[in-house]
Amino acid sequence: MPFSLIKGTFHVVGYSPDGDSIRFRADDRKHWNLLGGPPVRLNAREHAQLRIEAIDTLETHYEDHHQPLPLANQALLFLLDELGIKEVQFNEAGTKVISAQDGTPGYILSRRTEKNHRPVAFVFAGAADEADGAQVFLRPKRLEHSVNYKSALAGLAYPTYYTGLFPDLRKKITAAVAQARQAGRGVWPEDRTTQGFTVSSLASVTDENVILPKLFRRIVSFMGQGGGIEGFKDYLADNPDPVLALKTGHFTNLDTFVEVTGNEVKLTVEPEGLVFIEK
């Protein structure tokens, strides 16, 4: 099944981007109608928030919390550099871009939007040979030119897969992750997701331990502004994240692969071994 190629420009001024989140303005807004799913949500500047496919970078801001900022900010700066966005200035809190040389050209390959009206996209800088709005079959070799793949290869993004991602593209990202992990790039020397980590307070995941962002978000949503990790496994079971375990082919929920012993938490399978089912 082909992807729709949509040309446009990338924008950060007035926004709070992170390593897997950026705004995009289509050159021809009619091309948003090529995508399946809920209609794309545009703001007054005709900017759409993209969901960058297959990767998840450390959070710079999530419910007023962040993950360890040196690596989170490194992922953001990598994204901006790949898209040619220069001279980026943030507000004093470091939470919003107040000026930048943005509006840089590029294109996305997308087939659909998700429940929050965001195009699920592979993101590319520069020009495409095909016409705007063309239907394109995305091959693994071309994927190497995407920001998605480059972020994974740099070790600055965790693999986070959802249904709808073709197996050959998923395997290509997984291979990039394996290279980054073996080479000790980016997050991987500090990653504690499957080794286990102690959660004595929120600071354990906001400042101390580098972990899969999806797991971080679930911990933050459970703990709120305080409290302990006791009961987290039950919380996951009561708020299920349906997944497909690639190794066994079984459909289950995320809590199956989360182990909580006292205040120690770990994921019992590598992130690339799971495919999340779109809700």
pLDDT tens digits along 47-59: 999 999 999 999 9
pTM: 0.96
The pLDDT value given to residue 279: 77
- CATH fold of 3-137 reads OB fold (Dihydrolipoamide Acetyltransferase, E2P) (2.40.50)
pLDDT tens digits along 182-193: 999 999 999 999
Task: Give dist(CA 121, CA 80) in Å, integer.
Answer: 16
Helix (H) or strand (E) segment spanning residue 215: helix 213-223
pLDDT tens digits along 139-192: 999 999 999 999 999 999 999 999 999 999 999 999 999 999 999 999 999 999
Task: Give dist(CA 156, CA 74) in Å, integer.
Answer: 8
- Torsion-angle region of 14 (φ positive above 0: left; ψ -120 to 50: alpha; else: beta): left
Q: Long-range CB contacts (< 8 A, 24+ apart) of 85-89?
A: 85/10, 85/12, 88/12
Domain regions of the chain by residue span: 3-137, 197-276
Mean pLDDT, range 189-207, rounded to an integer = 97
Q: Long-range CB contacts (< 8 A, 24+ apart) of 46-49?
A: 47/11, 47/23, 48/23, 48/24, 48/118, 48/119, 49/21, 49/22, 49/23, 49/116, 49/118
